[in-house]
Chain A
Amino acid sequence: MFMSNLIRQLYVVSIFLFLSIISINACAGETTSALKINLGQALSQSEINKYAITITPDGKHLPKGQGSVAQGRKLYNNQCQMCHGENGIEGPAARLAGTNGWISFSDPLRILRIKKYPVLLISVGELWPYATTIFDYIRRAMPHYAPKSLNNDQAYALTAYILYLNGLIEEKIIVDKNSILEIKMPAHELSVDAWKEESESNKNIRKNNDNDQ
């Protein structure tokens, strides 16, 4: 009698445990499926290769090919100068060469040009910190009326010509994926990363708050 009672109790307890394990599993299953929606499809390497056009300052993904200042000058005169001006400073589109600011000694008309097109206050040559960006932007977006129509050699040649207009390379230099990394843009030394400064000061504030507590 005593034994059968014990067995009955153990039996009830074991069923209870069994059911509670099932219900825990069921809950866990529901929670996981609610957190992971997983409707994204796999993106293949060949699709990535087709779209990933961004060139970073370390030169990763720079393509093969090369271009000279002379080739660039020819392309520029045919496809670019109607917007950027004969010497890359006249506008109306972005000023490619020379200094930032209101006046430049080589261009007495600058203040008048700025009055018409304020965007000419700044210059690619003196504001952009990396030559890789010149190649990247020409290849993805230029010329304005036919973006992505230039091949890699042409994009290298135009990069060479813009660097030459800024006195950053000599006329005989060939620009390719190696030589482009050797160009020192004047703005590089002057750059300050506002985001880095902000995140560091936030970190310090957090640290101080933690210390207070």
Chain B
Amino acid sequence: MKNKTLKSVAAGGLLDRRSFILSGLALSSTYPLAALSQATLEKPRSMPDNIGSELPQWMKVPGYGASEYGQPSGHEKHIKRYLEKNTPETSIFSIWHTPIANQRGIITPSGLHFSVSHNGIPDISPEKHQLMIHGLVDKPLKFDIESLMRYPIVSNINFLECAGNTAPNAVSFNALDQNCQELFGQISGSEWAGIPLKYLLQEAGLKPNAKWVIVEGADGGSHARSIPLSKLLDDAIIAMYQNGERLRPEQGYPMRLFLPGWEGNASVKWVHRLEVTDKPAFTKDESGLYSDILEDGRIERFSFHMGVKSVITHPSGKQQLPDKKGFYEISGLAWSGHGKIKYVEVSADGGLTWAKAHLDSPVLSKSLTRFHIPWQWQGHESTILSRATDEQGNVQPTRDKWREKYASYSFNHYNAIQAWHIDRDGKVKNVYV
């Protein structure tokens, strides 16, 4: 009976989600009735005189009060960001990865959002901070926070990904035994709210030869990136809020540029100055760390978009499946800097057969999208993969295909299909296929 309703959709134990749900409904509609009829036949239950005697301690004392700013449970303290150890040993250049394999849904808690800073986090007094616009404009302008807060504020749920996310799999000759947080922890999802930048640029009045804007932060290193004007007039915002509260300092308090779908480094934090120009400035990061070296030695600059990408987070690298075989739900995240995710395919046999996963609502443009597929693991060695396709028709490449384009030491914009190998003992490991 059960085997009939659970329809296989691909080899290796991938199941049809709809038939799975229907079989679940069938069970829930028959079992309670049976249980009820049995209960009526049972003798009256004997309960202890003191109902508290066999209940847990927390049901027998008054709880503690809430606080001004709530914190995660003390039992979840081990869920935290991970600091990359292979950057220079100073706290001012740091790369913190989000614990992606411990999250569900598509929103990353602000305090766990990945964070990269090249010159530390500045302590900015909001009352002294101002946003300046000058260069190829009719009227150079400055805005304090009070004035900015009076402009229309829009909000969108978007992903933010560092160009260097998953770099170890881009450059390492052998697949390193790393977990999902170490390999994929530079992707996060948030609701970002702020002022459409076009309002401010139009107020300053753009000269006909305006084409680029050099966007600069007020941090110690004065981080700067040259951004095409067309993006700033399209969907760029000066973000003031993340997930309903003012930006955290490590996300750019009191304000940051936010560019949906583009590499994180371009969404300049602590933004204070926009210099409108006719050409890019070739700032430090667009000259060096954030350029891509092609297979033939040419160097690609200004490759802003983050390509279509996905990863299975449950199960993922260095995890241990608790049972030798049985039911598991495969779940993960997909995203694309070019628009919405159209579908995600999953394989449980190393890429021989594929089945489409279910996408959770909402499926938003340039946002994390959560996918699921039920899986009956037979206890055999298995390799699970996910492959996302976006609404523009972009498909995640294989690792070999991705490598063809770039030099062996180029590590940015890696979006190849990720494979996790599961051995007979249920140990999950990062592999190349």
Query: A117–B88 contact, CB under 8 A?
Result: yes
- Distance of A95 from chain B, by nearest CB (Å): 10
Query: A41–B132 contact, CB under 8 A?
Result: no
- A105 within 8 A of partner (CB): no
Query: A37–B282 contact, CB under 8 A?
Result: no
Distance between Cα atoms of A42 and B408 in the complex (Å): 50
Q: Digit string of A175-204 for contact with B (CB within 8 Å is 1, else 0)?
A: 000000000000100111111101100000
Distance between Cα atoms of A137 and B272 in the complex (Å): 18
Q: Answer whether A127 and B287 are a contact pair too, CB < 8 Å, given A42-B139, A42-B140, A118-B411.
A: yes
Query: A39–B150 contact, CB under 8 A?
Result: yes
Q: Which residues on the A side are within 8 Å of B301 (C-beta)?
A: 129, 191-195
- Distance of B221 from chain A, by nearest CB (Å): 4
Q: Answer whether A118 and B407 are a contact pair too, CB < 8 Å, given A52-B275, A191-B299.
A: no
Query: B88–A133 contact, CB under 8 A?
Result: no
- B297 within 8 A of partner (CB): yes
The contact of B88 among A41, A43, A52, A93, by CB within 8 Å, is: A93
Q: Answer whether A141 and B287 are a contact pair too, CB < 8 Å, given A41-B143, A43-B132, A101-B407.
A: no
The residue of chain B having its C-beta at the shortest distance from the C-beta of A56 within the complex is: B281
Query: B282–A130 contact, CB under 8 A?
Result: yes
Q: Which residues on the A side are within 8 Å of B209 (C-beta)?
A: none
The residue of chain A having its C-beta at the shortest distance from the C-beta of B172 within the complex is: A118
Question: Number of contacting residues on A, CB 8 A?
Answer: 58
Distance between Cα atoms of A124 and B144 in the complex (Å): 37
Give chain B's interface residue range (CB within 8 Å of chain A): 35 or more
Q: Which residues on the B side are within 8 Å of A101 (C-beta)?
A: 407-409
Query: A52–B287 contact, CB under 8 A?
Result: no
Query: B284–A141 contact, CB under 8 A?
Result: yes
- Distance of B92 from chain A, by nearest CB (Å): 6
- A38 within 8 A of partner (CB): yes
Distance between Cα atoms of A39 and B204 in the complex (Å): 11
The contact of A194 among B148, B283, B300, by CB within 8 Å, is: B300
The contact of B221 among A37, A121, A140, by CB within 8 Å, is: A140
- A2 within 8 A of partner (CB): no
Query: A36–B203 contact, CB under 8 A?
Result: yes
Q: Digit string of B205-224 for contact with A (CB within 8 Å is 1, else 0)?
A: 00000000010100011101
Q: Digit string of B108-149 for contact with A (CB within 8 Å is 1, else 0)?
A: 000000000001000000000000111000011111100110
The contact of B132 among A37, A51, A93, by CB within 8 Å, is: A51
Q: Which residues on the B side are within 8 Å of A51 (C-beta)?
A: 132, 272-273
Q: Answer whether A43 and B408 are a contact pair too, CB < 8 Å, given A54-B281, A92-B88, A195-B304.
A: no
- B76 within 8 A of partner (CB): no
Binds A, one of B38-46, B155-163, B288-296, B415-423: B288-296
- Distance of A126 from chain B, by nearest CB (Å): 9
Q: Which residues on the B side are within 8 Å of A145 (C-beta)?
A: 92
The contact of B171 among A44, A94, A118, A128, by CB within 8 Å, is: A118
- Distance of A139 from chain B, by nearest CB (Å): 9
- B277 within 8 A of partner (CB): yes
Query: A40–B221 contact, CB under 8 A?
Result: no
Query: B86–A118 contact, CB under 8 A?
Result: yes
The contact of A117 among B86, B293, B302, by CB within 8 Å, is: B86
- A26 within 8 A of partner (CB): no
Distance between Cα atoms of A148 and B134 in the complex (Å): 22
Query: A192–B299 contact, CB under 8 A?
Result: yes
Distance between Cα atoms of A83 and B284 in the complex (Å): 17
Query: B147–A130 contact, CB under 8 A?
Result: no
Q: Digit string of A104-121 for contact with B (CB within 8 Å is 1, else 0)?
A: 000000000000111101
- B167 within 8 A of partner (CB): yes
- B199 within 8 A of partner (CB): yes
Distance between Cα atoms of A47 and B133 in the complex (Å): 11
Query: A56–B221 contact, CB under 8 A?
Result: no
Q: Digit string of B257-299 for contact with A (CB within 8 Å is 1, else 0)?
A: 0000000000000001101010101111001110111100111
Distance between Cα atoms of A47 and B294 in the complex (Å): 42
Query: B141–A41 contact, CB under 8 A?
Result: yes
- A57 within 8 A of partner (CB): yes
Q: Digit string of B70-98 for contact with A (CB within 8 Å is 1, else 0)?
A: 00000000000000001111101100000
Query: A119–B289 contact, CB under 8 A?
Result: yes
- A136 within 8 A of partner (CB): yes
Distance between Cα atoms of A42 and B143 in the complex (Å): 9
- B100 within 8 A of partner (CB): no
Q: Answer whether A141 and B222 are a contact pair too, CB < 8 Å, given A100-B409, A119-B87, A194-B301.
A: yes
Query: B409–A40 contact, CB under 8 A?
Result: no
- A122 within 8 A of partner (CB): yes
Query: A144–B298 contact, CB under 8 A?
Result: no
Q: Digit string of A151-191 for contact with B (CB within 8 Å is 1, else 0)?
A: 00000000000000000000000000000000000010011
- B151 within 8 A of partner (CB): yes
- Distance of A83 from chain B, by nearest CB (Å): 7
Distance between Cα atoms of A196 and B167 in the complex (Å): 25
- A11 within 8 A of partner (CB): no
The residue of chain B having its C-beta at the shortest distance from the C-beta of A51 within the complex is: B273
Q: Which of A40, A48, A190 has the most CB of B within 10 A?
A: A40
The contact of B200 among A40, A122, A148, by CB within 8 Å, is: A40
Rank and list the top 8 A-B pairs by shortest CB-CB distance, nearest first: A40-B141, A195-B302, A141-B221, A92-B88, A43-B140, A194-B303, A39-B147, A128-B287
Q: List 9 A-B contacts (CB under 8 A).
A: A100-B407, A118-B167, A118-B171, A121-B171, A128-B288, A144-B119, A190-B299, A192-B301, A195-B304
Given contacts A127-B293, A191-B298, 13 further A-B contacts (CB under 8 A): A48-B140, A55-B281, A56-B277, A56-B281, A100-B409, A119-B87, A122-B293, A127-B288, A127-B299, A133-B281, A144-B119, A190-B298, A195-B304
